[in-house]
Amino acid sequence: MQEKLFGVGNLENLKNQKMNKTDRIYISGHNGMVGSAIIRELKSEGYENLITKNSNELDLRNQNAVHDFFEKEKPDFVFLVAAKVGGILANNTFRADFLYDNLMIEANIIHASYLFKVKKLLFLGSSCVYPKLAKQPMSEDELLSGFLEPTNEPYAIAKIAGIKLCETFHDQYGCNFISAMPTNLYGPNDNYDLKNSHIIPALLRKFYEAKQHNLSEVEVWGDGSPLREFLHVNDCASACIFLMNNYTYKQFVNVGSGEEKSIKEVAETIKQKIGFQGRIDYNTTYPNGTPRKLMDVSRINKLGWEYQISFEEGINQMIAILEEEVQKFQ
């Protein structure tokens, strides 16, 4: 009974709270692409009391370990961005791992945040929570309106569970737990392992290495027709911090650019910018995935946030650091 009263009694006090520069802020998954971007952005804004733990120091799938960590560190704010992630092939191959690991990570952190009176938590979801044939552009209301894309269904189900955990802890206990659903992300510290990377780092590496080795063609999975929206991870980080400081409702919020490109357009852009002279072979034996994914970002735009880094600028930034990034995976 005492636990239940905690949340309800403090709901009004929590609603308008923003992070102070001295608050203890825990960023889970700080070594990942999004987590490291949030760290960079927080530091640039003057936040210094940041809490991080590597996976070999803290197994987020272990409830007792997470409980002990929160009891000791007592964070005021939590960015829940840790997750097991990968591209179509990885999602479709390691289905049990993607479901189990992500369920455990988010459940343990959300429950511990409730038990140890975290002021506010932001859960980072994914646009894959939307149905395969969702109405486009996808507004937040499209959640659970149809069947999911089969190739990444386990990951999507885990992310939906994270959204619902935040919503139900908000409803039952008055916890100030919010959720953000980013579109397809790219940027520094991305995964360039071709077995489980996303489309942009995969294409960057393929064209980079093809040029290095004077290959005649580069293989692209699928027929190039799917439409995708992309957002630089630095913009995602700024959106997460913006929402942490300005949003208090249980309704999750889309985070994206609101602009889309076909996979073929992306491949041609990267080919041209890297200077690869060969041809592109679209391998249609691989699945395309969802035919179109474009976020309706009117909600976050009305709140006062918009993306800043254009696709062209973002790809140029990636190419500038490409050799260093790819070497981590060779």
Q: What confidence tier does 194 reach under pLDDT thresholds 50, 70, 90?
A: confident
pLDDT of residue 292: 85
Task: Calculate Rg over the CA atoms of the chain.
Answer: 20
Report how far apart, in Å, the C-alpha atoms of 300 and of each of 75, 186, 254, 270, 291 are. 26, 20, 7, 29, 24
Q: How many domains is the chain partitioned into structurally?
A: 2
* pLDDT tens, position by position, 118-134: 999 999 999 999 998 89
Q: Which domain covers residue 110, as residue numbers?
A: 2-188+229-259+294-309
217, part of any domain: yes
97-121 average pLDDT score: 97
Domain shared by 152 and 34, yes or no: yes
Domain shared by 282 and 299, yes or no: no
314, part of any domain: no
Give, in degrees to the nearest 5, the angle at Cα 198 between 134 and 156.
Answer: 40
SS (H, E, C) 40-62: HHHHHCCCCCEECCCCCCCCCCC
Sign of the alpha-carbon dihedral angle for 82, 129, 262, 151: positive
315, part of any domain: no
DSSP letters for 159-217: HHHHHHHHHHHHHHH---EEEEEE-EEE-TT----TTT--HHHHHHHHHHHHHHTT-SE
Q: What confidence tier does 311 reach under pLDDT thresholds 50, 70, 90?
A: very high
193, part of any domain: no
272-291 average pLDDT score: 92
Domain shared by 300 and 162, yes or no: yes
Distance CA 179, CA 252 (A): 5
Length of the chain measured in residues: 330
Domain shared by 124 and 244, yes or no: yes
Domain shared by 214 and 160, yes or no: no
Domain shared by 246 and 268, yes or no: no
Domain shared by 250 and 217, yes or no: no
Residue 288 belongs to a domain with what CATH number? 3.90.25.10
145, part of any domain: yes
Domain shared by 22 and 119, yes or no: yes
Domain shared by 83 and 96, yes or no: yes
116, part of any domain: yes
Neighbours of 249 (CB within 10 A): 12
Positions annotated as catalytic residues are: 155
Domain shared by 42 and 181, yes or no: yes
Domain shared by 31 and 157, yes or no: yes
Residue 107 belongs to a domain with what CATH number? 3.40.50.720
Distance CA 142, CA 129 (A): 9
Whether the Cβ atoms of residue 243 and residue 122 lie closer than 8 Å to each other? yes
pLDDT of residue 16: 57
